[in-house]
A = this chain, B = another copy of it.
């Protein structure tokens, strides 16, 4: 029997009524002839409450104990969910991460999955039961409870779909799918029907928050079809799959806006082999996550080096760069915090000309100055003034018809 994994986020199971509605979804899928495995997050604000309880006792709680505490939220949801299915006449059984041997490394609060025991789930599915698995959690090899960090329940769902050989992994959420851009900024953003893992990865790492990039990476690696859809509406959502030929016909699949970032520039660094390596080794040691890097030669001996980081890393980055400044003979350092990054993403740009052109043109027409440009194979990003960020995103969205369904866009 074909298996479907269905993941319900915290807002979709926030109270009894919502759990019942989610249970109805599951039952409908069972009636359609599928074996269903449900992954659920903690109810509504439960995790926030537990975090507050912890911080009241300890401003810096030990991570192992945090995992021990927070994992209870998902455990509660899946047992309650099983009870709701039972009332409706469906046999169901709930499991913690530990009970299905979701083995992770021992990096508490952001553990990575090492293996999953699929046997116990298959055994229960074969008995005709609906299986519920607490998302976000696992155990290390010493039975310590671990959690997977941000987007953890999505990752649990995708990993289970991979381990079980499921047909599809459905992610139920409070939006009706992935949109071409953030609808809070560009209100008429169109829903994407289909998007490739690579595009979704770029968009997720650029600030699209519907799905965490770790879950997408997992899906890409194990070829799991993800269907992001609404928990309150019956409509089809967005399918995230391997690249299919027709995807190349679309110039740009989506656009993103990223704030909360900063740029550090090292002016007049000695352009010698190994200098860049030294700088980034220093930053890595200070646990600064570096996003885009741009280096340009300014003379035969000197180069300017810029990179972007999350704003929360700025202090650590400044300190790290300050320590290495003299060693690489850097003339001066300057930072910008008043910036944002606008990107367009699309596998189509690999085979089409004119994408960069159209993006820069749209920004110019809107009188927006571009600070830095970076590109990847399927992405173009421009750093602009933060104050102009929304205006810039809108201009780009309009230029690429991101408010229209694919068939109505000009190419």
- Please list the residues of chain A having a beta carbon within 8 angstroms of any beta carbon in chain B: 16, 19-20, 50, 53-54, 56-59, 61-62, 64-66, 68-69, 71-72, 75-76, 78-80, 82-84, 86-87, 92-94, 96, 98-99, 143-145
Q: Which of A58, A64, A65 has the most CB of B within 10 A?
A: A65
Q: Are B76 and A50 in contact (CB under 8 A)?
A: yes
In whole angstroms, what is the CA distance A129 to B74 when docked?
28
Query: A71 to chain B: which residues have CB within 8 Å?
Result: 75
Q: Are B98 and A143 in contact (CB under 8 A)?
A: yes
Q: Are B69 and A86 in contact (CB under 8 A)?
A: no
In whole angstroms, what is the CA distance A122 to B26 when docked?
45
Q: Which of B16, B54, B57, B86 lies in contact with A62, CB distance below 8 A?
A: B86
A sample of 23 cross-chain residue pairs with beta-carbon separation below 8 angstroms, ordered by A number, consists of: A16-B53, A54-B79, A54-B83, A57-B83, A57-B87, A58-B84, A59-B87, A62-B82, A62-B83, A65-B79, A65-B80, A68-B75, A68-B78, A68-B82, A69-B83, A71-B75, A72-B72, A72-B75, A72-B76, A96-B145, A99-B143, A99-B144, A99-B145
Q: Which DSSP category, helix, strand, loop or mixed, fits chain A's interface?
A: helix
Residue of B with least CB distance to A66: B79
In whole angstroms, what is the CA distance A79 to B109 when docked?
14
Query: A76 to chain B: which residues have CB within 8 Å?
Result: 50, 53, 69, 72
Q: Are A83 and B65 in contact (CB under 8 A)?
A: yes
State the number of copies, please: 2
In whole angstroms, what is the CA distance A59 to B59 when docked?
40
Q: Are A79 and B83 in contact (CB under 8 A)?
A: no
In whole angstroms, what is the CA distance A75 to B144 when docked?
13
Query: A98 to chain B: which residues have CB within 8 Å?
Result: 98, 143
Measured between C-beta atoms, what is the minimum distance from A2 to chain B in Å?
A: 26
Query: A69 to chain B: which residues have CB within 8 Å?
Result: 75-76, 79-80, 83
In whole angstroms, what is the CA distance A238 to B98 when docked?
40
Q: Are A80 and B94 in contact (CB under 8 A)?
A: no
In whole angstroms, what is the CA distance A19 to B58 when docked?
12
Measured between C-beta atoms, what is the minimum distance from A241 to chain B in Å?
A: 35
In whole angstroms, what is the CA distance A78 to B16 when docked?
27
Q: Which of A78, A82, A144 has the most CB of B within 10 A?
A: A82
In whole angstroms, what is the CA distance A83 to B19 when docked?
32
Q: Which of B53, B59, B79 lies in contact with A80, CB distance below 8 A?
A: B53
Q: Which of A75, A83, A96, A145 has the most CB of B within 10 A?
A: A83
Q: Enumerate the 5 nearest inter-chain pairs by beta-carbon distance, A residue then B residue, closest first.
A: A72-B72, A69-B79, A58-B83, A68-B79, A58-B87
Query: A143 to chain B: which residues have CB within 8 Å?
Result: 98-99
Residue of B with least CB distance to A76: B72
Residue of B with least CB distance to A71: B75
Query: A94 to chain B: which residues have CB within 8 Å?
Result: 65, 68
In whole angstroms, what is the CA distance A307 to B331 when docked?
97
Q: Which of A50, A62, A96 has the most CB of B within 10 A?
A: A62
In whole angstroms, what is the CA distance A75 to B145 when docked?
11
For the A-B complex with A54-B79, A64-B93 known, give 9 more contacts whose Cβ atoms are closer than 8 Å: A16-B56, A16-B57, A57-B84, A62-B82, A65-B79, A65-B83, A68-B75, A71-B75, A99-B145
Q: Are A82 and B99 in contact (CB under 8 A)?
A: no
Known interface pairs A75-B72, A94-B68; A83-B99 also in contact (CB < 8 Å): no
Known interface pairs A72-B76, A76-B69, A143-B98; A83-B64 also in contact (CB < 8 Å): no
Query: A144 to chain B: which residues have CB within 8 Å?
Result: 99
Query: A86 to chain B: which residues have CB within 8 Å?
Result: 58, 61-62, 65
In whole angstroms, what is the CA distance A50 to B78 when docked?
13
In whole angstroms, what is the CA distance A53 to B19 when docked?
11
Query: A16 to chain B: which residues have CB within 8 Å?
Result: 53, 56-57
Query: A75 to chain B: which residues have CB within 8 Å?
Result: 68-69, 71-72
Q: Are A65 and B82 in contact (CB under 8 A)?
A: yes
Query: A56 to chain B: which residues have CB within 8 Å?
Result: 16
